[in-house]
Amino acid sequence: MFIFKAPKRRYIQKSASKDGQEVLNRLNDYLDGNADEPAKFLVRFWKDQGNVFSYKEIREAILEGTVSEETMRLWQQDYTKMVADKMYPVWLDAITAGVKGQPIFDDLLPGFAFNTGVPNVVSWITSRGSAFVTSATEEQRKAINAMLVKRITDKYTVDELARVIRPCIGLTARQTKANVRYYNSIKERLAKEYPRMKKESIERKARDKQLIYAARQQRERAYTIAHTEMAFAFNKGMDETIRQAQAEGLMGIVEKRWVTAGTDNVCSICQALDGTQVGMDGEFGFPGRVLFPGHKLTPPAHPRCRCAVQYVEAEAPKLGEDSILTPVQPASSYEDGEGKNIDHDPPKYLGSLDNMSKDVVLSTLRGYEKEIAGYDKESAVVITALGLVFQCFGDKESVHPDDDMGDALKGAYVTHNHPIGSSNEYSFSNDDIQLFMEFDMEILRGVDERFVYELTRSQTGLEEHLPISDLNEYNTRHDEVISIAERLGIGYRRYSHE
């Protein structure tokens, strides 16, 4: 977990009139110096995908006129793995680099520690990753389906079209159409210039040219994705730094100003935004659909956008009882039932799952349960909907993954322990059940020294009520939870350790 620390030093307010050119320089120096590596692994990823997309599968898609659901599932699984292994570190690195992206931070940093473990950051990376997987998979489906329409398939044999499709893995629908046009133009030119050349030779030479063109298209798209995703994260890091500094009373009221390079190369969208100044929670009015929560709070406005935001302190912080700031709790603490702050470690990233099938997820949760069952403090293991795995830490009586991870819990799979000697009733507490419902979790599990219990979305797993004569200290709460699950329409079961 990255935490920037430096010696304490008096905070010096920055002038609001500082030239935004320095902000642009820092952003673009970072992007130019770091985009090559993620672009390279995206190209390698698409090449690997193309290699495993067998001609048999391609032929089936051609004959059906669309990509199969099984192929879509496999693509989504591939993208999920790539995002967890490769893109997650890229986003995290860009967010932490964004801490140093503003001149206004220069005098702030010596007395400030930036925490990447706060819910805003964890939730942003998780939601961005989930959206990335969905959009990339869907774009790939559209690209291939664009080659499967009747007016195209009528021009080719199945074998020829299969060979044309394979190099286009990773391209957009627009790029794919351009690639097909290029292939056709090469074929037509060769047939015209060499009328005695065999059809098979013409197709082979056209494919050789097509491969070179497709590789160039992939590199272009990979760099666009790398540049744009890093710009999203770098700007998120700057935004989050301001908010954390405000929460600590180190900065006052801040506004943000859109900054462009001011050259003829700036597009009309960004020219219209240049100099626009809004509050911290204000959005910039650039067109296009919202890609993730908070998308329009900061640049980029479009792929490869090189604009930045200059943060301007409109009012210095007021210290003491008259502070303009509402104190907020840091990510490493939460309040217990008596209103006392409980300090704990930020979430720990444990890796990712290649396969999000129910059997694999449950097996993973059971494996972690063997570790946390004996802990003397509560701990939760969270597998997000994207397949990222985190461990959250609490105290003897509770753990609060919602405070640590925010919306990243939506649709997640979670397990946690109830330590020996805690206020454990050998089933779920009302807080546990509320958490499960609030974040629409797929599965919530609990484990103690005697039992494992589980909430699911299907009431087919609901247990039967116990006879009154069987109720005791181990079963009373268990029977209550059965009634709660009945009312909520969810599944609940409990069993002894194997």
What's the pLDDT at 153?
84
Whole-prediction pTM? 0.74
**Does 145 lie in the same domain as 22?**
yes
| Dihedral pair phi/psi, residue 355, rounded to 5° | -125, 125
Query: Is pLDDT of 387 > 60?
Result: yes
pLDDT at 222 over 90: yes
| CA–CA distance, 346 with 329 (Å, rounded to integer) | 13
Q: Which tens digits make up the pLDDT trace of 56-114? A: 899 899 988 999 999 998 898 899 889 988 999 999 999 999 988 888 887 766 667 78
Mark whether 183 and 68 lie in a shared domain. Answer: yes
What pLDDT, in 10s, does the model give residues 401-432? Answer: 888 787 788 899 999 999 998 888 899 999 99
Q: Kindly state whether residue 292 falls inside one of the protein's structural domains.
A: no
Q: Does the residue 303 lie in any domain?
A: no
Query: Same structural domain for residues 217 and 362?
Result: no
Contact 74, 144 (CB under 8 A): no
Burial 295-305 (b: 16+ CB within 10 A, else e): bebbbbbeeeb
Q: Residue 68's CB: how many other CB atoms inside 10 A?
A: 12
Q: Say if residue 140's pLDDT is above 50.
A: yes
DSSP secondary structure, 460-471, as one string: GGPPPPPPGGG-
The one-letter amino acid at 212 = I
Return the residue matching tokens 């599990």. Answer: 445
CA-CA distance, 77 to 54, in Å (whole number)? 17
In a domain, 252, yes or no: no
Q: How far apart are CA 50 and CA 168, in angstroms?
A: 8
Quick one: average pLDDT of 234-240?
93
Please report the pLDDT score of residue 255 as a whole number: 92
Q: Both 89 and 199 in a single domain?
A: yes
How does residue 356 score in pLDDT terms, banded at 50, 70 and 90? confident
Residue 195 three-state SS: coil
Full DSSP string of 206-274: HHHHHHHHHHHHHHHHHHHHHHHHHHHHHHHHHHHHHHHHHHTTS--EEEEEEE---STTS-HHHHHHT
pLDDT at 109: 60
Rounded-to-integer distance, Cα 150 and Cα 443, Å: 44
- In this structure, of 177-186, 345-354, 382-391, the range with the lowest mean pLDDT score is 345-354
Over 90: is that where the pLDDT of 191 sits? yes
Q: Which domain covers residue 197, as residue numbers? A: 3-239
pLDDT bucket at 318, cuts 50 / 70 / 90? low
- Taking CA atoms, 464 is separated from 148, 205, 382, 460, 481, in Å, by 53, 70, 29, 11, 11
Which of 215, 239, 263 is the endpoint of a domain? 239
Find the angle CA(49)-CA(52)-CA(53) to the nearest 5 degrees.
Answer: 80
324 closest CA partner among 309, 333, 335, 314: 314
Element (H, E) at 7: none
Environment class of 83 (CB within 10 Å of its CB; exposed 0-12, middle 13-18, buried 19+) = buried
Q: pLDDT tens digits, residue range 434-443?
A: 999 999 999 9
Instruction: Tell me the CB-side half-sphere exposure of residue 357, using CA atoms within 13 A.
Output: 6
Q: What is the distance between the alpha carbons of residues 198 and 202, in angstroms, rounded to a whole number?
A: 6
- Considering the domain architecture, whether residues 149 and 18 belong to the same structural domain is answered as yes
**The pLDDT of residue 328 is above 80:** no
Write down the pLDDT at residue 13: 34
More confident residue, 14 or 397: 397
pLDDT given for residue 344 in this prediction: 66
Nearest to 104 by CA among 241, 3, 230, 10: 241
Question: In the chain, how many domains are there?
Answer: 2
Please give the share of the chain, as a percent, with pLDDT higher than 70.
90
346 and 222 within one domain: no
Q: Give SS3 for 472.
A: coil
Nearest to 409 by CA among 392, 429, 424, 394: 392
* pLDDT value for 106: 79
Domain finish residue from 220, 239, 258: 239
Q: Does residue 54 surpass a pLDDT of 60?
A: yes
For the chain, give the mean pLDDT.
Answer: 85
Query: Are the C-beta atoms of residues 383 and 414 closer than 8 Å to each other?
Result: yes
The answer to whether residue 474 scores a pLDDT higher than 50 is: yes
Specify the higher pLDDT residue, 377 or 315.
377
Does the structure show a pLDDT above 50 at 469?
A: yes
Confidence of residue 334 (pLDDT cuts 50, 70, 90): very low
Does position 457 have pLDDT exceeding 70, yes or no?
Answer: yes
- Of 239, 266, 300, the one marking the end of a domain is 239
Asked whether residue 65 falls in the same domain as residue 191, the answer is yes
